[in-house]
Amino acid sequence: MEKARLGEVPVVDLKCATCDLASELEQNRRLFDLPDQVKRSMAFNVTLDIGYTGGTGTSQALDPNAGIQAADTKEGFMLTNNAFMGAAALDPTNPRKFLPRHPHLDPKDPLAGATLHWPPGLPGYERVIRSYFASAYELNYRLNDLLFSSLGMDANERNRLGSAPFCVLKQLRYGPGRDALANGSSIGAGAHADWGSLTLLLTDDTPGLQVEMAGEWLPVPPRRGMFIVNAGDQIEALTNGHYRSAKHRVITTSPRPRYSTAFFTYFNYKEPLTPLHEHVNPQKPLRRAPMDTMAWFQYKLRQSVGENVSRPLSTTTSSSTSSSEPAANATCSFAPLREALVIRALGGGVEGGAEGGVLLGVEALGIDLLSVSDGVIDELIAAMHADGKGLLVVRNQTLSPEGYERALFRLGRAAGGFGTPLLYDRWPGQSPRLRCCPHVSLLGNYRARVDDELGTGAVVGDRIGEYKPAREELREWHTDGSFLARPKIGVALYAPSAVPVATCAPCAKPSAWWRKLLRWPCRPTCRHAPASALPPEGGHTAFASGILGYERLDAAEREQLESLSAVHSWCDFMHFLEARDPGREKVSADDCAKKPDVTWPLVRTHPVTNRRSLYLNPKNGLRIVHSSDGEPASAEMSASLVLNLTKRVLELGTYHHTWRPGDLVLMDNRVLIHAATPFDADKYERLIYRAEFPGEPVYFF
């Protein structure tokens, strides 16, 4: 690998053995030499980011400050692995449309399954472009390895962000146009930074590319057979501004056309991009709310073609609500929602409501999560986040385990949602996996009524849920997964209602190869999906707000707590559960060694709403240390601080959810603590479906 320098800008010759650069540029010229009417027959599709742009009314304005009136004077033609894009491709309500022939599992043809325009009358074009796309796609993996190594990222983070990359190939032709400057040049591409992670830029020998350094525009000398690699906005977001995206433009001065091909790469299309923990601190607060690749890409794309868009995943409040807090029993009207939907605050006037009149969430009535529009789903998530509440209860859902999974995907993909549900990773003592539903686990003392109930492999009488006997005590309160390197940001619970009993049809032949690679060998109908199993008394789930806990502290208390952290231990948590339930499967020393302790601040900042909250877990996070040096606090403080803070939070008010069949509860695990209440497990059974959403570091800024 050779390296030259242009001021502070590295220019790298990547020596891609399989990239036929000359053939690609030749296809580029052939494409743009087609008659205008042929090119315009492949008009640009903003939803799928494919097709031709150029000429009046069809160009992009890459400079976000220039406006669409200053559109770039270039022609472009886009191809993407857009099997990742759009509601249809991401909607698991139809398994045939869910992850269709995953491009990242077929590196020889990453455009497989994509919807594309192929220019007519250009023999050989498709073969060359597919080959070039695949070569650049593979090269992106190598570059990501270098990038992730330089950032010190662990294997889990590398895989989370590096797998399933979204990529865009854009062929470009520049020439003097209608926006000619006084010196005879024109704006080929306005000043901008690329939106993704890395860009591989191939150019001919015509000059025009410029890079901004310290307020000065520096020309980048063209060299044949060379890739220029730009860092984009996603790298800036990943490092919270430690590395900056490269601002550049194209000013065309040559009387001959300039041809180039840009291969834009993005991180994993579905994962929320959160900054690395070491780059977020009080001196470097979070610069941008976390968002997944597709939400960010669609926002930037629509902005560039002049659509009126609002930034995704910013702090969300409904335009139909007033700025004041609604009354505890208020019915909140949301204009964009269909008439059947009612959203009301979870407070003292709601059945099973809050103690102390505190509002911790919203309740939605009159909708079916599997059939309602995406706009309604967005409104539900916005209402859940409004005013820092963090809890959503959707009543009267009739969902099989597969239907529950589909509902989770819809909720997770909403603006402000938690992302794609995680595959269930079983720990000792937890429920068996459901063959039909790889994201779902089971809670409760429910015992199988038939063999292989819910596809668990259980026999009649086996307990198929994870049962953790609850007690009325302070240490019952907790936040889920605080002992993880990336604590889960959201958790969903569902009390199944009565659904028809069905027999599980075995797969007649091996299913699609990509499902096997995803540990998803088949999707049979789950056997004997049970009616509800809820105790008539007890077995509630209670919630309390860490945001309220923080906001009721005085200034001196806030200052003290903001300098302290707690050590969270998976091993302590598992031993706590074993002491409660002697029959529980035991963890070994090797198990504990695989999950080392983590340290998180006692006060955290919500990366979407910017609200601060107490981050408490009395079950496994009692040891207090000083954040500055990790030194243990006094024994007296460690023994009592977290428990005393938890008690104060509970005194401010709690919401006790009385479960009904068909209730789906979604909680923001960053701002709420929760606890189960006891029930007579010898007399009654309880069954709850559970799923988790991706994690992120605990930020404080």
Residues in contact with 682: Cβ distance below 8 Å, sequence separation at least 6, in sequence order: none
| pLDDT in the model for residue 369 | 94
Q: Are 456 and 447 in contact (CB under 8 A)?
A: no
Per mean pLDDT, which range of 243-252, 261-270, 498-507, 632-641 is the poorest? 498-507
Determine whether domain 331-692 maps to CATH 3.10.400.10.
no
Per mean pLDDT, which range of 27-41, 47-61, 659-673 is the poorest? 47-61
Residues in contact with 93: Cβ distance below 8 Å, sequence separation at least 6, in sequence order: 370, 406
**pTM over cut 0.85:** no
Whose CA is closest to 591, among 568, 618, 565, 572? 572
Task: Kindly indicate the confidence band of residue 466, based on its pLDDT and cuts at 50, 70 and 90.
Answer: confident
The DSSP secondary structure of 285-304, one letter per residue, reads: ---S--EEHHHHHHHHHHHH
Strand partners, 442: 689
155: which 2 tokens? 């294997």
For residue range 509-547, list pLDDT tens digits in order.
434 433 343 343 444 444 455 556 899 999 999 999 999
Tell me how far apart the alpha carbons of residues 422 and 165 are, in angstroms, rounded to a whole number: 18
Task: Kindly indicate the confidence band of residue 599, based on its pLDDT and cuts at 50, 70 and 90.
Answer: very high
The DSSP secondary structure of 149-213, one letter per residue, reads: HHTT--HHHHHHHHSSEEEEEEEEEE---TTB-TTS-EEEEEEEE-SSSEEEEEE-S---EEEEE
Highest mean pLDDT out of 241-250, 264-273, 462-471: 241-250
Tell me how far apart the alpha carbons of residues 580 and 592 are, in angstroms, rounded to a whole number: 19
60 against 275, higher pLDDT: 275
685 against 352, higher pLDDT: 685
Residues in contact with 329: Cβ distance below 8 Å, sequence separation at least 6, in sequence order: 344, 345, 347, 348, 349, 350
Per mean pLDDT, which range of 106-115, 394-403, 656-665 is the poorest? 106-115
Tell me how far apart the alpha carbons of residues 404 and 418 are, in angstroms, rounded to a whole number: 16
For residue range 304-362, list pLDDT tens digits in order.
765 433 322 222 222 222 222 222 222 222 222 222 455 666 643 333 444 444 578 88
Locate the domains of the chain by residue range: 2-304, 331-692
Residue with tokens 């976390």: 290
Strand partners, 410: none
For residue range 260-276, list pLDDT tens digits in order.
999 999 998 777 787 88
114: which 2 tokens? 């994509």
| pLDDT in the model for residue 463 | 87
Task: Kindly indicate the confidence band of residue 1, based on its pLDDT and cuts at 50, 70 and 90.
Answer: very low
Name the 3-class secondary structure at 144: helix
Determine whether domain 2-304 maps to CATH 3.40.190.10.
no
Q: Are 209 and 220 in contact (CB under 8 A)?
A: yes
Same topology for domains 2-304 and 331-692, yes or no?
A: no
| pLDDT in the model for residue 271 | 75
Whose CA is closest to 247, among 194, 324, 311? 194
Q: Which helix (H) or strand (E) holds 140?
A: helix 125-150
